[in-house]
Amino acid sequence: MEPLISIVTPTLNIVEKEHADEFNILVSLLEMQTYPRIEHIVIDGASTDETVELLKDYKNKGYINFYSEKDTGKFHALNKGAMRAKGKYVAFISCDDFYHDITAIYDAVNTLEAENADFLFSPAYCRHPENYTFLFMPAMYNAFQVMPCARQGMIFKRSMLEEEKFFDEKFKLMSDLDFIIRILMKKRKGIYFDTNFTTYKLSEKTFNNEEQCINETKLIYRKNFRTICPLDDDTLDAMARYSDFPKPLLEKLSECFVPEDKELFLERCEQMHQIRLEYYKNAKK
């Protein structure tokens, strides 16, 4: 029998925020997936509009299971969903995102099984708040500098989520970056899935709070790298803002990849540093 996969979706006042139609697309396309064993768990943050009634209707039709209770933010909701998941694998997708390829979960789970991988990552279409869409290609060699792929285009082994203690809920915007850094440093086995099956919307909260993202990233670096390399506040700021990492730290982090990829890793890190410098240079004009 095929392993069960759990899809976790957080919601909060989606009727009031006019996301009900997008949520319907998500649910409908999940129902059309060719993979036979999917559970869809919705974690609602105690909505105060008509969201709970909407979710009850979907539950009564057999599309979802849902829980509605207060939480402390998105990653708290994702953790609660993962803890309730029964699947061997878990994926996280928001209420206004969807899987546009109905055969992808079947192929993705088969890939995870064949490779005995801890997680899978893939390209994804990103809908930008400024009303354009682009293809987000994974850049795993840059995972210590920037978010290397869309969380919505990833699938995780549930046992790994449990062993790594899920998302760190003190990071409200960048906890997925922290989690990816942690699993790479543990040398968890990831597999690239060369199929774009996800369309997701870039979080406006993340897009509009650049300084909070930078400050959280600095804390993530201090948390994960402090035993590897001395990091003062100026160094952390340069790392988070310009992707400017101390060379001894990069040398150590290169060990998270196979030895023959070391030079490629260092090259990609320098490229990202130059891209970030150019970004801030242009932003000041």
What is the band of 54 on the pLDDT scale with cuts at 50, 70, 90? very high
Asked if residue 192 has pLDDT above 90, the reply is yes
Is the pLDDT assigned to residue 184 strictly greater than 70? yes
- Tell me the angle at which helices 51-60 and 20-31 cross, rounded to the nearest 10 degrees: 20
Question: Nearest Cα to 140, choosing from 194, 190, 202?
Answer: 190
Q: How confident is the model at residue 47 (pLDDT cuts 50, 70, 90)?
A: very high
- pLDDT over threshold 90, residue 282: no
CA distance 141 to 256: 10
Check residue 68 and give its pLDDT.
Answer: 98
Confidence of residue 280 (pLDDT cuts 50, 70, 90): confident
Residues 89-96, mean pLDDT to the nearest whole number: 97
Backbone φ and ψ for 145, nearest 5 degrees, come out as -100, -40
Given a contact cutoff of 8 angstroms between Cβ atoms, the answer to whether 195 and 125 are in contact is: no
Please give the pLDDT value at position 204.
Answer: 83
How many domains are there within the chain? 1
* Domain membership flag for residue 175: yes
Examine residue 53 and state whether it is found in any structural domain, yes or no.
yes
| Average pLDDT of span 70-78 | 97
DSSP string, 204-249: HHHHT-HHHHHHHHHHHHHHHHTTTS---HHHHHHHHHH----HHH
Mean pLDDT in the chain? 96
Specify the pLDDT at position 285.
Answer: 63
Q: What's the rounded Cα separation, in Å, for the pair 107 and 262?
A: 30
Residue 199 lies in a domain: yes
With 80 as the cut, is the pLDDT of residue 284 above it? no
Residue 275 counted as domain residue: no
CATH number for the domain harbouring residue 79: 3.90.550.10
Determine the average pLDDT of the residues in 185-197.
Answer: 98
Domain that holds residue 104: 5-209
The C-alpha atoms of residue 87 and residue 84 are separated, in whole angstroms, by 9
In which residue are the tokens 């310009």 written? 242
* pLDDT tens digits along 195-241: 999 999 998 888 889 999 999 999 999 999 999 999 999 999 999 99
Q: Kindly state whether residue 184 falls inside one of the protein's structural domains.
A: yes
Please state the rounded mean pLDDT for residues 3-17: 98
Q: Tell me whether residue 252 is in a domain.
A: no
Looking at the chain, how many residues does it have? 285
Residue 270 lies in a domain: no
What's the predicted TM-score (pTM) here? Answer: 0.95
Instruction: Confirm whether 221 is domain-assigned.
Output: no
CB 277 within 8 A of CB 145: no
